[in-house]
């Protein structure tokens, strides 16, 4: 039997915070987004084995069928692959992961701008809010990744 490094979810609180059981977005899609985020940020590395469906379901506090559906979706999207006797692994397609890294900030930015515009903030004012926030973070000793 081969030796695999199995992904273990270390940020339990973050996982629970990412899943909103009352949201209009289906839970399985929220889990997909959470795992995609882990792939994009490098928490999950290319070719890294992930935990079993049952263990992940337990950690996310969801039914194993919900977790299975999420993992199947990630497989259909090409971010996970299955080796018959070894389990599931993160894709080793670095170009696909790099594209994901670029897509996530673009999507978040679009959502933020749409929210600001719907709140009555003009497009000219939006950069002022961003700059103010970044200056406050810097003044509090936080860098751009904290």
Q: How many Å apart are CA 138 and CA 146, to the nearest integer?
A: 10
Sign of the torsion angle spanned by Cα atoms 126, 127, 130, 135: negative
Q: Are residues 42 and 112 in the same domain?
A: no
What is the domain extent for residue 37?
A: 12-90
Question: Confidence band (pLDDT; 50, 70, 90) for 143?
Answer: low
Q: Are residues 113 and 85 in the same domain?
A: no
Mean pLDDT of 140-144: 74
pTM of the model: 0.74
With a cut of 90, say whether residue 45 has pLDDT above it.
yes
> In degrees rounded to 5, what are phi and psi of residue 114?
-60, -40
Q: Are residues 46 and 101 in the same domain?
A: no
> In degrees rounded to 5, what are phi and psi of residue 64?
-55, -30
Q: How many domains, the chain?
A: 2
In this prediction, residue 16 carries a pLDDT of 55
Q: Are residues 86 and 20 in the same domain?
A: yes
Q: Is residue 135 part of a domain?
A: yes
Q: Is residue 121 part of a domain?
A: yes
Which CA distances in Å does 58 have to 55, 64, 87, 100, 133?
5, 8, 17, 27, 36
Quick one: how many helices (H) and strands (E) in the chain? 6, 2
Task: Convert the pLDDT of each residue in 60-99 to its tens digit.
Answer: 999 999 999 999 999 999 999 999 889 999 999 999 999 9
Q: Which of 11-20, 37-46, 125-134 has the lowest mean pLDDT?
A: 11-20
Q: Are residues 103 and 58 in the same domain?
A: no
Q: Are strands 87-90 and 80-83 parallel, antiparallel or unpaired?
A: antiparallel
């Amino acid at each position: 039997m081969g030796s695999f490094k199995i992904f273990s979810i270390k940020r339990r609180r973050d996982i629970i915070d990412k899943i909103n059981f009352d949201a209009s977005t289906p839970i399985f899609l929220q889990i997909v987004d959470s795992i995609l985020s882990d792939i994009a940020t490098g928490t999950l590395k290319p070719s890294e084995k992930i935990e079993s469906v049952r263990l992940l379901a337990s950690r996310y506090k969801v039914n194993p069928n919900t977790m299975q559906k999420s993992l199947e979706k990630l497989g259909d999207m090409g971010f996970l692959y299955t080796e018959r006797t070894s389990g599931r692994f993160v894709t080793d397609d670095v170009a696909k992961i790099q594209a994901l890294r670029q897509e996530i900030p673009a999507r978040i930015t679009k959502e933020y701008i749409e929210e600001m515009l719907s709140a009555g903030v003009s497009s000219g004012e939006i950069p002022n809010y961003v700059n103010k926030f970044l200056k406050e973070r810097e003044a509090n000793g936080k860098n751009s990744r904290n």
